[in-house]
């Protein structure tokens, strides 16, 4: 299977499993799960040929572990990054490391200084343990700047943190007083 096919399929799966399942007539449950049979049928109506094997390869080889299969192998979901309002992942609160990082573009800084980090269209603000990861995330939007998040201060003020199965840290928002540029 070519890398291009795997990448294209990963992008398609991100689109339907995080954002627009209705685009192919798919329904997600509140935990984000979709039937693989329905996913294959919906994709076929859209002119895209998916197979269980291809989906399994994408899930297994994905460098960011974006997707998970159910134990019985019949369902798939995106692990984080949703904007779809029907999905409300049950996430367990977890103690984060003392510093988490968020990569963004310099052009967003003025607004971030004003409003803090907000989730935008997604359900959470995404944070990472590694500067390298944050740098890659920020580079997608322009000249990158990495922000440090003071998690002990946030915890002391009652903010909550969650960790997705793939290691990405999530929180509802990060007011500007907890941010510092690296
Ligand atoms: C910015 C990728 C102006 C924020 C990554 C970011 C991640 C503000 C953008 C995942 C702002 C939102 C998520 C404010 C935040 N004013 N801009 N007040 N607050 N922003 O894509 O964190 O490859 O929704 O800095 O690895 O960049 O898709 O979030 O630049 O884990 O699996 O608004 O997406 O994963 O952008 O990335 P996004 P993100 P995948």
Please report, in tens digits, the pLDDT of each residue of the chain (182 residues total).
Answer: 899 999 999 999 999 999 999 999 999 999 999 999 999 999 999 999 999 999 999 999 999 999 999 999 999 999 999 998 899 999 989 999 999 999 999 999 999 999 999 999 999 999 999 999 999 999 999 999 999 999 999 999 999 999 999 999 999 999 999 999 99
Query: Whose alpha carbon is nearest atom 25 of ligand 1?
Result: 104
Q: Which CATH number fits domain 3-78: 3.30.470.20, 1.10.10.970, 1.20.81.30, 3.30.2030.30?
A: 1.10.10.970
Using alpha carbons, select from 166, 180, 145, 155 the residue that is nearest to residue 62: 166
In whole angstroms, what is the distance from residue 116 CA to residue 127 CA?
13
Q: Taking a C-beta distance cutoff of 8 angstroms, is the pair 27, 34 a contact?
A: yes
- Residues in contact with ligand 1 by the CB-under-6-Å rule are 14, 64, 66, 81, 104-105, 108, 111-112, 115, 117-118, 120, 122, 126, 137, 141, 168
Q: pTM of the prediction? A: 0.92
Give the CATH fold of the 99-181 domain.
ADP-ribosylation fold (3.20.170)
């Amino acid at each position: 299977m070519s890398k291009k096919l795997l990448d294209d399929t990963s992008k398609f799966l991100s689109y339907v499993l995080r954002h627009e399942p209705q685009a192919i007539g798919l329904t997600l449950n509140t935990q984000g799960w979709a039937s693989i049979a329905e996913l294959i049928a919906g994709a076929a109506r859209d002119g895209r040929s998916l197979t269980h094997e291809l989906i399994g390869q994408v899930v297994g080889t994905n460098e960011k572990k974006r997707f998970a299969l159910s134990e019985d192998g019949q369902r798939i979901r995106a692990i984080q990054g949703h904007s779809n309002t029907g999905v409300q992942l049950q996430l367990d609160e977890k103690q984060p490391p003392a510093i988490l990082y968020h990569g963004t573009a310099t052009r967003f800084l003025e607004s971030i200084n004003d409003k803090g980090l907000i989730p935008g269209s997604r359900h959470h603000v995404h944070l990472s343990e590694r500067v390298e990861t944050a740098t890659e995330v920020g580079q997608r939007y322009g000249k990158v700047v990495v922000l440090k998040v003071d998690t002990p201060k946030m915890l002391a003020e009652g903010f909550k943190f969650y960790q997705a199965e793939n290691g990405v840290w999530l929180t509802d928002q990060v007011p500007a007083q907890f941010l510092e540029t690296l």
